């Protein structure tokens, strides 16, 4: 008898340009200290759930959201680099802690002009803090919300 492991895949968190974590201009993420995942640049500021789950937490500075997937993995969505000091100003959160989300649920809106004015990188980083293995399925190309980007 054969048993097949369920394929677990993250979709894109935004319409934009997918990057491997090594290309992120922040050593904490590029060295994978925060876990395995991917990044999106050149996006429109709309951030969507890349997986089905429950919103576990929204950081007080609104720059990051954690989701616990329906299979138990914890996922961190980090909006921009060095954006903590902006105290939430460029972010509009569209979900609440404890809310169930489906793949494609709008999580947040990033005001790209405010980030540019504050001279902050608007790259979105998606990582599994408790995971060190996974496979990035696409790199350095334009992607949409429908694209499967990361297999774990």
Query: What is the rounded average pLDDT of the residues 1-28?
Result: 87
Q: Which of 54 and 5 is assigned the larger pLDDT?
A: 54
- Looking at residue 7, what is its pLDDT? 74
* Share of residues in the chain with pLDDT > 70 (%): 96
pLDDT(108) > 60? yes
CATH of the structural domain 11-133, one choice from 3.40.50.1580, 3.40.50.2030, 2.70.70.10, 1.10.10.10: 2.70.70.10
- Looking at residue 140, what is its pLDDT? 97
In tens, the pLDDT along 52-81 reads: 999 999 999 999 999 999 999 999 999 999
Catalytic residue selected from 17, 43, 63, 78: 78
Query: What is the rounded average pLDDT of the residues 100-107?
Result: 98
- Looking at residue 1, what is its pLDDT? 46
Mean of the per-residue pLDDT values of the chain: 95
- Looking at residue 53, what is its pLDDT? 97
Query: What is the rounded average pLDDT of the residues 19-42?
Result: 97
Whole-model pTM: value is: 0.95
C-beta of residue 95 within 8 angstroms of C-beta of residue 104 = no
Query: What is the rounded average pLDDT of the residues 8-25?
Result: 97
* 78 included as an active-site residue: yes
């Amino acid at each position: 008898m054969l048993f097949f492991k369920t394929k677990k895949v993250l979709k894109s968190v935004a319409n934009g340009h997918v990057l491997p974590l090594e290309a992120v201009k922040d050593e904490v993420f590029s060295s994978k200290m925060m876990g395995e995942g991917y990044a999106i640049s050149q996006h429109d500021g709309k951030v969507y759930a890349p997986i089905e789950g429950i919103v576990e937490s929204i950081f007080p500075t609104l720059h990051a959201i954690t989701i616990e997937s329906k299979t138990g993995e914890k996922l961190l969505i980090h909006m921009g680099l060095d954006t903590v000091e902006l105290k939430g100003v460029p972010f509009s959160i569209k979900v609440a802690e404890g809310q169930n989300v489906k793949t494609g649920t709008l999580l947040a809106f990033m005001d790209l002009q405010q980030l540019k004015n504050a001279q902050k990188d608007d790259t979105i980083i998606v990582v599994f803090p408790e995971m060190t293995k996974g496979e990035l399925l696409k790199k350095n190309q334009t992607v949409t919300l429908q694209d499967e980007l990361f297999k774990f």
